[in-house]
Amino acid sequence: MRPLRLCGIILTAEPQRAQKKNFASFATLRYTKYLPIMKLTIISHTEHYKQSDGTIVGWGPTISEINHLAQDFEEIYHIAFLHPDTPPPSSLPYTASNIEFVPLQPVGGKGLLAKFKIIRNIPIIINTVRKTLSKVNAFQLRTPTGIGVFLIPYLTLFSNKKGWYKYAGNWNQDNPPLGYALQRWMLKNQKRKVTINGRWPKQPKQCLTFENPCLTEKEREEGLQITNTKSFSPPFTFCFVGRLEDAKGVQRIIDAFGLLDNLENIETIHFIGNGEKMGHYKEQCAALGLPVVFHGFLERQEVFGVYKKSHFILLPSDSEGFPKVIAEAMNYGCIPIVSDVSSIGQYVNDKNGFLLNPINGQQLRKILSRAFSKNTDELTKMASDCYLVASRFTFNMYRKKIQEEIIKP
């Protein structure tokens, strides 16, 4: 049932749930000191799909984030693309009744025809945004994305709504794609708040350092228990979570383990995710005799089950913003062995992990040898420090920062 917000008081009636618990019908009052009555429009490139039963689903991490944000807004309208394809297994439904999906026809892609389709649909997209903004107090535009190239100037010049931009890519990237560079330049030269990964020299005053949320309070409690009981004695278990491709560092992982003198310190290397080169990677691992498991896609709780039994997470990527999988794994006491790119080095250091620089298989082999040289007490202390860092990546922390640093001012 949708909560009612009256003069700063949220009233939630839950009679059905109360009956199940053998209580009388009840209402829960939650007083909020600083929350006005707020309705929010979120504009993103998040891919959505319609299931056979008509349920709308979208990319899991974004949908989870919006489901949590729904606790703080009377209404949320999410403008995004509705694709006709079969939903990928990572898709999730909206769970909050005060979220309304506003579909856009898919645009984008490579080639001149795809770019022309974006241009042709600009008036339609802007009109959809304009109509939806008329229903709300505030907006969030998630960038960088193809539609951001024209929506940033439109919102800057023609909307007086309270709003902010979420830049989810590498804010400090040296040679970003042209569209990304243009959007970053526009965001630097406008006045609304921009949430970014990391903290950087000469960071514009409107740019706020925000962590990407990925953990619930229950998962934090669970992570503490796992971290406190995890034994860091060889042989060790490793995990990789992400798309199986060279850019994510899968080939580097295989090369590095293949260069080791022996595999006695290794129990299992778990690869979670899909990719066109999975078969090729499997063949290489078999030829090298590596103790690997290729899981393909796993549900969130299944991924967390792998974190719980793993000692290290591997992510030797070419480029990243700040991947949520690093924070998720650190919450369960997994020590990160990750590339020193973007803001990752602002959270991972020699006290709680290992940074890969230069980014190649030979350097990764050296880091693995360093990790094996650590004693049990040293690794246990590193895992405890990992858990502490993960506290910054909770949904509650994210919601609090939005209210205090963006909505309230």
Reduced to 3 states (helix: H, G, I; strand: E, B; else coil), residue 401 is helix
Q: Quote the mean pLDDT of the chain.
A: 90
- According to the model, what pLDDT value does residue 36 have? 57
Residue 30 confidence (pLDDT) above 80: no
Reduced to 3 states (helix: H, G, I; strand: E, B; else coil), residue 374 is coil
- According to the model, what pLDDT value does residue 20 have? 34
- According to the model, what pLDDT value does residue 7 have? 34
Q: Please name every residue paired with 42 in a beta bridge, in sequence order, or none if there are none.
A: 78, 140
Nearest to 227 by CA among 302, 149, 311: 311
Q: In b/e form, how buried is each residue of 393-408, taking b as 16+ CB within 10 angstroms?
A: bbbebbbebbeeebbe
The lowest-confidence range among 25-34, 103-112, 130-139, 276-285 is 25-34
Rounded average pLDDT over 99-103? 98
pLDDT grade for 260, boundaries at 50, 70 and 90 = very high
- According to the model, what pLDDT value does residue 249 have? 98
Query: Which tens digit of pLDDT belongs to each residue from 325-361?
Result: 999 999 999 999 999 999 999 999 999 999 999 999 9
CATH fold match for the domains 34-213+395-407 and 217-392: yes
Assigned CATH for 34-213+395-407:
3.40.50
Rounded average pLDDT over 380-406? 97
* Pairing assessment for the beta strands 312-315 and 236-241 based on DSSP bridges: parallel
- According to the model, what pLDDT value does residue 119 have? 85
Q: What percent of the chain has pLDDT over 70?
A: 90
Reduced to 3 states (helix: H, G, I; strand: E, B; else coil), residue 91 is strand
- According to the model, what pLDDT value does residue 320 have? 87
Residue 374 confidence (pLDDT) above 80: yes
Nearest to 48 by CA among 22, 2, 85, 11: 85
Distance CA 42, CA 63 (A): 11
Query: Which tens digit of pLDDT belongs to each residue from 275-312?
Result: 999 999 999 999 999 999 999 999 999 999 999 999 99
Residue 9 confidence (pLDDT) above 70: no
Residue 5 confidence (pLDDT) above 60: no
As assigned by CATH, the class of the 217-392 domain is alpha beta
- According to the model, what pLDDT value does residue 392 have? 97
Domain boundaries, the chain: 1-33, 34-213+395-407, 217-392
Residue 382 exposure: Cα atoms within 13 Å on the Cβ side: 24
Token pair listed for 234: 């060889």
Could you tell me the pTM of the whole model?
A: 0.88
Distance CA 400, CA 409 (A): 13
Distance CA 300, CA 277 (A): 23
Token pair listed for 65: 């984030």
Question: Which residues lie closer than 8 Å to 373 by C-beta, 6 or more apart?
Answer: none
- According to the model, what pLDDT value does residue 117 have? 78
Query: Which tens digit of pLDDT belongs to each residue from 154-178?
Result: 999 999 999 999 999 899 988 899 9
Query: Which tens digit of pLDDT belongs to each residue from 33-76?
Result: 445 579 999 999 999 999 999 999 999 999 999 999 999 999 99
Tell me if 73 sits within 8 A of 162, measured CB to CB: no
Q: What percent of the chain has pLDDT over 90?
A: 83
Reduced to 3 states (helix: H, G, I; strand: E, B; else coil), residue 14 is coil
